[in-house]
Amino acid sequence: MESGGTPQIRNSGDSDRCLGASDIFEAVVGANRDSVLATGSAPRQTDRKFVALFRRIARAHKRLDIVVDSVAGEDPLMKRYGYLWQVDLTTADAIFRQAITSRIMTAKHAAMAMMPAKRGLIVDVTENDMLGGGGNPMAQAAKLAQKALPLLWAAELAPHGVAVIAITPGFLRSESVLQHFGVTEDNWREAGRKDSNFLQSESPLFVGRAVAALAGDPKVTDRTGMLVSSWELARDYGFTDYDGRRPDWGGHKIDFSVLPQAWVDLFRTSTDLELRWLTTLAARTKKFRAKIPGGAGSRGPRTR
């Protein structure tokens, strides 16, 4: 890690619940001379403790420029796959507290810390660059919230100069994924024999460099409210993974033969419905926007 950045890493749970927080912040702090807060794992903290944390940062560094939240990205409770009628609701409250409430708390206090300076960046790490994501109803609700809430917060914080962005990695070589394939980061390519898609995977550092690129972009507010991906940002900013590769999950032709046919059928149906849903909402939104005072030329975030 290069000198100059000041990371504040909040990581109060087990390491397998952290979506590469240390790697993300090695990239972010190495590229920016900012005060940074990393929220790494499912917090067991009250709102009062959040207040104390942000006050401590303010006293020590006088400002907070970047907050990246990957809380619960690798929480085992989020990995239990099952259809709606199969779901075990025993852990529902815990999942929502860890994956949604904690993120709202973090974003709330981050915004309050950034607003006086009229600058700052809040990044929520999520899964998938479409609406879908998660393998059970609780995980699905959490992933949807992690994409929709930044959109709403971006509108609220726009007058205060604070950008809010959701970001997804591609096929991520997290600790649990490496364990699933029975490989390590040193020999991860061997898993390509089981699933050729894994050869297009990326390390957690790659999405960290994507966040670093956003943080270093003076026009980052043009992307506020958007859901972006590590591979799209790599195309735009030109960064690579630690091994010099530039994984491009969006450009990869997925081999679906490794998946159960029922999953493939589900993906087809859900994608068709999502397209219809988004098209309908886009049309409604345009009609509503036309009713709001303010011309079509009003400045808004860049769309991609």
**C-alpha to C-alpha distance for 150 and 166, rounded to whole angstroms:** 6
Domains parsed from the chain with CATH numbers:
6-251 (3.40.50.720)
What are the DSSP E strand ranges found in the chain? Answer: 6-10, 35-39, 66-69, 120-125, 162-168, 227-229
Question: What distances in angstroms separate CA 15 from CA 9, 58, 174, 234, one per listed residue?
Answer: 13, 27, 11, 27
Contacts of 72 (CB under 8 A, 6+ apart): 17, 41, 42, 78, 95, 98, 99, 102, 142
Angle CA 286–152–293, to nearest 5: 40
Contact 188, 10 (CB under 8 A): no
pLDDT digit string, tens, across residues 29-43: 444 444 555 554 444
Amino acid at 60: A
Which pLDDT value is given to residue 135? Answer: 82
Which pLDDT value is given to residue 9? Answer: 44
pLDDT digit string, tens, across residues 249-295: 999 999 999 999 999 999 999 999 999 999 999 999 999 999 999 86
pLDDT digit string, tens, across residues 165-191: 999 999 999 988 999 999 999 999 999
**C-alpha to C-alpha distance for 266 and 253, rounded to whole angstroms:** 18
**C-alpha to C-alpha distance for 108 and 192, rounded to whole angstroms:** 41
- Spans in the chain with pLDDT lower than 50: 1-5, 7, 9-21, 29-34, 40-44, 303
End-to-end CA distance of the chain: 32
Which pLDDT value is given to residue 56? Answer: 87
Which pLDDT value is given to residue 217? Answer: 96
Long-range pairs, 183-191, Cβ under 8 A, ≥24: none
Which pLDDT value is given to residue 187? Answer: 97
